[in-house]
Amino acid sequence: MSSDWDGYGDGWEQLREETLRRDGYRCQRCFENRGPLQAHHVVPRSDGGPDSLDNLVTLCRPCHGVQHPDNNRFNDSRPKASLFPDTRASEEVARMRGPEDSVCERCRGVFDHTELVAHGDSYSMTDHYLTLCKPCVGVVSADGALTLNENRLHSNDRFSMPELRDRKTEAPVRPSVFADSSVAARREPVSAKERYVDDTVLRFFLGGWLNTAATAVFLYLLFRFLTG
């Protein structure tokens, strides 16, 4: 039936049918009931994953493509997958539609789907949208100058704006230099390190590789300089 599985051999069709029956004929990523349904190897065959029920999970073809981001055979169907996995999806298949969808467009960090919110027109997100980490949504939504519309924020689970605003200090003070301009908001520093390092060009020199002790020495010297 499917050209994706040429050469899987005798018994595969029966195993596939058993997998689909066990999973109630529903895709286990999006939980929609659209065909054709396929049986996905959780541990890939190429890594020694067995043809057995406990290594197989039912997926629709678009969601199957999400599990194989580098397989060109799925390029036509992958964009039809939902942006977020359903909340019922198991960890093995609960991932964002594409690797780029896991990147926050303000801080450029990579996040799990539970930590992401999308800004766009609809849940399916087939049109233009941005993904943001929850703390960065808190930063951007607190800044009235930017273009985040609360009615256009989506995730696969409930979240509240007060909860996200409470988390804004978890986000970096400055947006990444590669941030989307529509969400490139700065937030107010809340500590001396944030004020004198994270909110200045010093963050490019001291941000990643200095440990806490070295930062403390730096701040001490800066303090001496400023008060000297």
Q: Which residue lies nearer to Zn ion by CB, 108 or 152?
A: 108
Tell me how far apart the alpha carbons of residues 95 and 159 are, in angstroms, rounded to a whole number.
18
Q: Which residue lies nearer to Zn ion by CB, 30 or 56?
A: 30
Tell me how far apart the alpha carbons of residues 216 and 141 are, in angstroms, rounded to a whole number.
32
Considering only the stretches 15-23, 58-66, 143-151, 158-166, report the one whose residues sit in contact with Zn ion under the rule CB under 5 A: 58-66
Letter string b/e over residues 107-124, b meaning 16 or more CB atoms within 10 A of that residue's CB = bbeebebebbbbbbeeee
The interface mask with Zn ion, positions 4-43, x = CB under 5 A, is -----------------------x-xx-------------
Tell me how far apart the alpha carbons of residues 42 and 19 are, in angstroms, rounded to a whole number.
12
Residues 154-213 that bind Zn ion (CB under 5 A): none
Q: Which residue lies nearer to Zn ion by CB, 176 or 200?
A: 176
Q: Which residue lies nearer to Zn ion by CB, 106 or 187?
A: 106
Tell me how far apart the alpha carbons of residues 198 and 215 are, in angstroms, rounded to a whole number.
11
Token duo for residue 27: 């895709």
Tell me how far apart the alpha carbons of residues 119 and 65 are, in angstroms, rounded to a whole number.
23
Please say whether the beta carbons of 56 and 41 come within 8 A. Answer: yes
Question: Which of 116, 105, 126, 183 lies closest to 155 in space, CA to CA?
Answer: 116
The interface mask with Zn ion, positions 101-140, x = CB under 5 A, is ---x-xx-------------------------x--x----
Euclidean distance between the first and final Cα of the chain, in Å?
A: 79
Q: Which residue lies nearer to Zn ion by CB, 50 or 99?
A: 99
Smallest gap from Cβ 171 to Zn ion, in A, equals 5
DSSP string, 153-179: EE-SS---HHHHHHTGGGS-SS--TT-
Residues contacting Zn ion: total by CB under 5 A: 10
Q: Which residue lies nearer to Zn ion by CB, 50 or 207?
A: 207
Smallest gap from Cβ 29 to Zn ion, in A, equals 5
How many Cβ atoms from other residues are within 10 Å of residue 180's Cβ? 15
Smallest gap from Cβ 101 to Zn ion, in A, equals 13
Smallest gap from Cβ 155 to Zn ion, in A, equals 14
- Under rule CB under 5 A, residue 61 binds Zn ion: no
Q: Which residues bind Zn ion (CB under 5 A)?
A: 27, 29-30, 60, 63, 104, 106-107, 133, 136
